[in-house]
Amino acid sequence: MQSIKRYQVRGLPGKVERANFNGRLVDYWAPEGGSNRVLIAHDGQNIFDRRTATFVYTWRLAQNAIRVSKEMGEKPPVVIGVFHSSSKSDPHGRGKDLSPEDPFREGVKPLITPTITVDELRGNAYLNQIFNEIVPAIVDETKSEYSPQRTAMIGSSMGGLATLYAATRMSEKFSTALALSTHWPLGGNPLVDWLLPRIPQAGIAKVWMSRGTKGLDATYPPFQEYADSRMADLGWKGKRFTSKVYHRTTHNERSWASYVDEPLRFWLNT
């Protein structure tokens, strides 16, 4: 872990830290004195810093987490934003990181014309780096406490897929999966059928899914409705699973920021 810089974000006490983990950038923030909760977010470019955000708008994830935690009488979590690896030299790095690797290696066919071959996928290495290298180092650096039962992962679009995939591989590392605007069209219903039955209910306590109704999200209803039915068939119910539709929201950071307080409450209400 190599520290790069510290910077301030409006509405956020203290400073956000940026670090390099063997070539992968990570932004993170922790309340003073650390925390006993950890929130891991994909697409770290869009979590804190408007200068790196895709459309100059962030999730305001830490600000929302502070507000919701205060409402619920909890100390805010450590918020970790893991950057994807797209670059000029590797323009499809995000897809290589966030695509669920095993289902495509095991025969699930992409519905979208692929620009990445199966052999280029590195979702497993990406998740291993998060949980075995990045999280332990940041927890130690911020003098926080790590408990899988008090750790959540959150992502949108391909990050939603990566979150659910992590739940199939790393259920001993975190207990709440928050998947917004999950990009099911990548593999369609066969991808749903591969992923959801492999989420171990003994390990993952809660799963959140949501979508909007505009833009790319307008193509999601048949896949998400099928996913909802599969979750019901698998016995996910009550406070353990929520799927919501946010009308008039679309597929961007501004929309996800507008309702991210709800999945945070879902996580913190334990």
Number of folded domains in the chain?
1
pLDDT surpasses 90 at 38: yes
> Which H or E run includes 10?
none
pLDDT tens readout for residues 103-153 = 999 999 988 767 889 999 999 999 999 999 999 999 999 999 999 999 999
* 3-class state of residue 65 by DSSP: helix
Q: How much is the average pLDDT of 160-184?
A: 98
The pLDDT of residue 111 = 87
Rounded Cα–Cα distance for residues 118 and 99 (Å)? 10
The pLDDT of residue 113 = 65
Rounded Cα–Cα distance for residues 21 and 85 (Å)? 12
Q: How confident is the model at residue 176 (pLDDT cuts 50, 70, 90)?
A: very high
Residues 6 or more apart from 17 whose CB is under 8 A from it?
A: 3, 5, 6, 27, 28, 29, 141
- Name the pTM for this structure: 0.97
pLDDT tens readout for residues 59-78 = 999 999 999 999 999 999 99
Structure tokens at 174: 């975190």
Alpha carbon separation from 77 to 39, 71, 172, 179, 267 (Å, rounded) = 6, 14, 19, 18, 11
- The CATH number given to whatever domain includes residue 55 is 3.40.50.1820
Enumerate the β-bridge partners of residue 80.
28, 40
Mean pLDDT value across the chain: 96
pLDDT surpasses 90 at 56: no
Domain of 109, in residue numbers = 2-268
